[in-house]
Chain A
Amino acid sequence: MSLFFRSIRPAGLLLAGWLAAGCADDSAPGTAPDLSQLHNRPASQVDRFGLPAIATVFIPSAQKDAFNAAQPANDRAQFTDEVVAVLTVFGHPDPAGLASALLPDIQPVNTSQPSGFLNGRRLQDDVITAELGLIFGGNAALNDDHVDQNDKPFLPTFPYLAAPFLP
């Protein structure tokens, strides 16, 4: 059995079972809206996000909207040149190889392993300092932005995100 079927079919069946046991929309707050009108409105992609900073760093402003509307499966064909150009300017030893590794722009995660950037991305992961450290090594002036955590503590339970700043 291919990886595809091992992974996809059970997931679909599981969800079906989940819903069949009690799918009444009993917790819908408020009056049930008329959702039927939403089903014939094809939706066109305007933004996307996989790993932090790919679009920001490597995609020129003029192509930003095109990148945001593009599909990860086409990333290598469409945007390798842009990534290579940036890497080449700065003397990376293997721009093409690295570009191939950076694209497609997807966040990989193994759900059975403990999470933490780059296995997924937790709220508290200090992505910026991790990257600065890898770039600048022992250069203490530049290898840490010294912002090590969020301005508010995260919650221990879902939704984990901290309360908003209110007026």
Chain B
Amino acid sequence: MRRSARARPAVWLAAGLLLTLGAGSAVRLLTAADHRDSTVLTANPTQDIADVYSFQSPSDPSRFVIAMTVAGFIPPTDVATAQLSRNVLYQWKIDNDGDAVEDLVIQAFATGNDRNQVVHFRGPVAPARVGAVNDIVEGPEIGTVHLSRGAEAEVTTRRGISVFAGVRDDPFFFDLARFNQIVGGAATSFNNPGTDTFAGFNVVALAIELPAELLGGPAIGVWGTTSLMGN
């Protein structure tokens, strides 16, 4: 019930977006894709989630894919130095019973030096602590993989679970620049064709494909988090 009720009104997100911006909020406009959505996160791009995706494997409906992108707007010249933070815990949280509290988590964290990071994946497993403060769950890893920075994506697959971490083209697309002009009163319509403001930029992506049954469900709620590890 909750999920179906959520689905229809969610389209109003964009209505709110446009209307809000139409009121003259230029600042919000520039952050309209969740990339760089606060001053703190803009200063710490490896903590800054750009997008979260969740979908059935296109070739096997029994398998499910979850992805997260961080550190948006990486130009080609910065790919060689792009990385994850070794002090950040990246998580997908999964609600199985509709209470908006995570029942399972999938975690990723990076080790290694700046030029040769290894990313470790654990879960899905019920975490010891839910909420704002979390711990790395007990291993073993369900997968580890080098952070890819080249055209080829290095993937590790073990026991039916595939993992990936690396710099990829930002999959998000939107004529945000034209949208900004419309909201700012400098234009009254989109261009056709439009121009993808995110074209040519990269993100650091984390992705996992696994048997859907490991996620519980089939009705689940998914969200991504980044958390700063204490010393």
Contact B49 A158, beta carbon cutoff 8 Å:
no
Residue among B95, B156, B182, B225 with max Cβ neighbours from chain A (10 Å): B225
**In the bound complex, CA of A161 to CA of B54 (Å):** 13
Whether A149 touches B100, Cβ cut-off 8 Å, given contacts A18-B214, A108-B6, A110-B217, is no
Complex interface: chain B residues within 8 A of A161 (CB): 67, 153, 164, 168-169, 171, 205, 207
Complex interface: chain B residues within 8 A of A105 (CB): 223
Q: Which residues of A contact B (CB under 8 A)?
A: 2-4, 7-8, 10-12, 14-15, 18-19, 21-23, 25-30, 33, 35, 38-39, 41-58, 61, 64-65, 68-73, 75, 83, 86-87, 89-90, 92, 97-98, 101-102, 104-116, 118-123, 126, 128, 130-132, 134-135, 140-142, 144-147, 149-152, 154-167
Contact B169 A44, beta carbon cutoff 8 Å:
no
Contact mask for chain B residues 30-66; partner A; CB cutoff 8 A; 1 contact, 0 none? 0111100110110010011111111111110100110
Whether A98 touches B7, Cβ cut-off 8 Å, given contacts A53-B17, A109-B220, A156-B58, is no
Whether A108 touches B11, Cβ cut-off 8 Å, given contacts A23-B140, A146-B194, is no
Contact mask for chain B residues 104-141; partner A; CB cutoff 8 A; 1 contact, 0 none? 10000101100010101001111000011111100111
Complex interface: chain A residues within 8 A of B172 (CB): 150
Q: Is B84 an interface residue (CB 8 A)?
A: no
Complex interface: chain B residues within 8 A of A163 (CB): 150-153, 168-169
9 nearest A-B pairs in the assembled complex, by CB-CB distance = A131-B14, A141-B189, A43-B227, A7-B216, A115-B55, A159-B164, A112-B218, A151-B199, A101-B9
Contact A146 B64, beta carbon cutoff 8 Å:
no
Complex interface: chain B residues within 8 A of A33 (CB): 111-112, 118
Contact A43 B135, beta carbon cutoff 8 Å:
yes
Contact A14 B214, beta carbon cutoff 8 Å:
yes
Extra pairs beyond A71-B131, A101-B10, A123-B55 (16, CB < 8 Å): A7-B217, A47-B225, A56-B17, A57-B17, A57-B28, A111-B217, A112-B217, A126-B173, A131-B11, A145-B190, A146-B194, A158-B65, A159-B168, A163-B169, A164-B168, A167-B76
A-B contact pairs, 22 of them (CB 8 A): A4-B103, A7-B96, A43-B88, A44-B230, A46-B47, A49-B52, A53-B16, A57-B17, A69-B132, A89-B23, A92-B15, A102-B9, A106-B95, A107-B52, A109-B55, A111-B56, A115-B55, A134-B14, A150-B171, A158-B209, A161-B164, A164-B167
Q: Which of A14, A135, A150 is the one whose CB lies under 8 Å from B18? A: A135
Contact A54 B13, beta carbon cutoff 8 Å:
yes
Interface size for B (C-beta < 8 A) is: 152
Contact A30 B112, beta carbon cutoff 8 Å:
yes
